[in-house]
């Protein structure tokens, strides 16, 4: 019976009471209207995925273009007569650096960080300008500058990133450990740079602040090229270098731990059968399935390949099983605000509640309706007397499997070919 009802909930072909009356509002899950198809294509072309994909391609092109021009002694372009000599000498390296920075900003975009959006909006024009400057190398057999695709794609990415500005509204939230790590790292570099420059007469090859900063970084990172060292006859410089090694390496280790810690936590989270924050942040125009019961499985089968969806369930064993099947799942109480917000209820196209506990479904519906008054909510009532209660809780459509199944069976027993054809079609699809 649950398998029979699942396609009806997904397609929305029947009314709340299961009487067989079609409802236009209940067709929110299937894309049958030309306008909806057009809107879905627009979201694919200009939505959050395009905002992530295009800057990533620009980053790769910028890196490749920079590498292609590094070996050139003379890099010329339309702006060559107006550029200082220092810019012309370093222009072959800036493209690779910009590409690397763009990749970092895309990582921030995946977490919907506002600062990453600003960084991307600044780096894309820089990539385009550098593409104009890096026109010395040409694509083999085509006689086209390798930077031409970079310029075109950078300019194409700018309006897409601009149109999706509202999606990236999350502020950077650093833990106390991460703040301490950053402060320690910056403080250590400042201490070593200032001390090295103050004792520059006691070091070899230290003449400027750049030399002192260079010594600070190579010492803290334990690279230690050996080109800068305290003079053998000076004790002060040796003692200072000892303190620089201890302070610098300790700050680097603390910073590295604060970065690797969340990554390790994400891996553990995946192993336990739940989605990471990065995966949840990418959800958009999806279906939110609150709870997991007997009716949920056929619903998921209907949604697979049609629309993105995420399941919120408090059962960690069920979540782990779903995760092994590559089902997007979040282990949490579906009636709580925090997991619904993490699962993107504000960006969801629809919400489905179909467990065996009508009371729990009602709480989940109330929370979803409060967080997103415009979202379409569809629910299944285990007990037929709870249909009206779930609608009062905020569901747009409530389907009673008992009522719907009884209606189909009765119509089929009375020789109604239409109802029997509907049942046969659903069963055949499942088989």
| CA–CA distance, 366 with 337 (Å, rounded to integer) | 10
Residues 113-120: what's their mean pLDDT? 90
Q: Which residues contact 396 (CB under 8 A, 6 or more apart)?
A: 25, 26, 376, 377, 378
Q: pLDDT over 90 for what percent of the chain?
A: 19
If one counts every other C-beta atom within 10 angstroms of the C-beta of residue 345, the result is 24
- More confident site: 61 or 283: 61
For residue 416, what pLDDT band results from cuts at 50, 70 and 90? low
Kindly report, residue by residue over 234-282, the tens digit of the pLDDT. 888 889 999 999 999 888 888 877 766 666 665 555 554 455 555 666 6
Displacement of CA 239 from its chain's centroid (Å): 47
Nearest-10 crossing angle of helices 209-220, 176-198: 130
Point out the least confidently predicted range of 16-20, 219-223, 294-298.
16-20
Cα dist. 48→112, 116, 163 in Å?
A: 9, 13, 10
Q: What is the CATH number of domain 2-42+284-430?
A: 3.40.50.720
For residue 12, what pLDDT band results from cuts at 50, 70 and 90? very low
| CA–CA distance, 400 with 406 (Å, rounded to integer) | 10
- More confident site: 167 or 408: 167
- Residue identified by tokens 């995966």 is 279
Kindly report, residue by residue over 325-357, the tens digit of the pLDDT. 878 888 888 888 888 888 888 888 899 988 888
Task: State residue 194's pLDDT score.
Answer: 94
Q: What is the CATH number of domain 176-271?
A: 1.10.287.70
| CA–CA distance, 374 with 316 (Å, rounded to integer) | 30
Is 85:103 a contact under the CB 8 Å cutoff?
no
Measured in residues, the chain has a length of 431
Point out the least confidently predicted range of 64-73, 203-212, 221-230.
64-73
| CA–CA distance, 29 with 71 (Å, rounded to integer) | 55
Instruction: Identify which of 212, 213, 214 has the alpha carbon closest to the alpha carbon of residue 201.
Output: 212
pTM: 0.54
Displacement of CA 1 from its chain's centroid (Å): 38
Q: What is the domain partition of the chain in residue ranges?
A: 2-42+284-430, 48-167, 176-271
| CA–CA distance, 385 with 262 (Å, rounded to integer) | 47
- More confident site: 98 or 36: 98
Instruction: Name the average pLDDT for the chain.
Output: 76
């Amino acid at each position: 019976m649950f398998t029979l009802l699942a396609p009806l909930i997904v397609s929305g072909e029947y009314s709340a009471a299961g009487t067989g009356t079609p409802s236009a509002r209940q067709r929110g899950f299937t894309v049958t209207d030309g306008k909806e198809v057009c809107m879905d294509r627009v979201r694919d072309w200009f939505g959050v995925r395009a905002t992530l994909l295009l800057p990533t391609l620009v980053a790769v092109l910028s890196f490749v273009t920079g590498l292609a021009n590094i070996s050139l002694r003379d890099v010329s372009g339309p702006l060559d007569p107006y550029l200082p000599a220092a810019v012309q000498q370093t222009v072959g390296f800036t493209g690779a650096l910009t590409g690397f920075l763009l990749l970092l900003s895309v990582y921030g975009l995946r977490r919907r960080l506002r600062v990453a959006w600003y960084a991307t909006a600044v780096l894309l024009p820089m990539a385009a300008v550098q593409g104009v400057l890096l026109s010395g190398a040409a694509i083999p057999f085509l006689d086209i500058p390798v930077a031409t695709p970079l310029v075109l794609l950078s300019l194409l990415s700018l309006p897409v990133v601009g149109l999706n500005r509202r999606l990236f509204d999350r502020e950077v939230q650093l833990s106390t450990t991460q703040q301490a790590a950053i402060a320690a790292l910056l403080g250590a570099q400042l201490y070593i740079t200032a001390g090295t420059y103050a004792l520059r007469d006691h070091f070899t090859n230290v003449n400027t602040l750049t030399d002192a900063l260079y010594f600070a970084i190579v010492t803290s990172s334990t690279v230690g090229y050996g080109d800068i060292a305290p003079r053998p006859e000076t004790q002060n410089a040796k003692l200072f270098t000892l303190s620089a090694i201890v302070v610098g390496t300790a700050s680097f280790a603390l910073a590295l731990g604060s970065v690797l810690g969340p990554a390790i936590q994400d891996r553990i989270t995946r192993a336990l059968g739940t989605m990471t924050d990065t995966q949840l942040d990418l959800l958009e125009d999806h279906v939110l399935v609150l709870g997991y019961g007997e009716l949920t499985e056929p619903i998921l089968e209907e949604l697979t390949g049609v629309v993105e969806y995420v399941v919120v369930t408090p059962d960690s064993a069920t979540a782990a099983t779903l995760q092994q099947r590559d089902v997007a799942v979040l282990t949490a109480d579906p009636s709580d605000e925090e997991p619904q917000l993490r699962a993107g209820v504000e960006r969801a196209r629809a919400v489905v509640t179909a467990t065996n506990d009508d009371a729990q479904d009602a709480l989940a519906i109330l929370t979803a309706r409060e967080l997103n008054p415009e979202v379409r909510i569809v629910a299944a009532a285990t007990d037929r007397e709870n249909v009206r209660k779930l609608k009062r809780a905020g569901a747009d459509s409530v389907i009673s499997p008992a009522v719907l199944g009884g209606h189909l069976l009765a119509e089929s027993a009375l020789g109604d070919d239409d109802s029997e054809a509907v049942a046969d079609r659903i069963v055949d699809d499942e088989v």
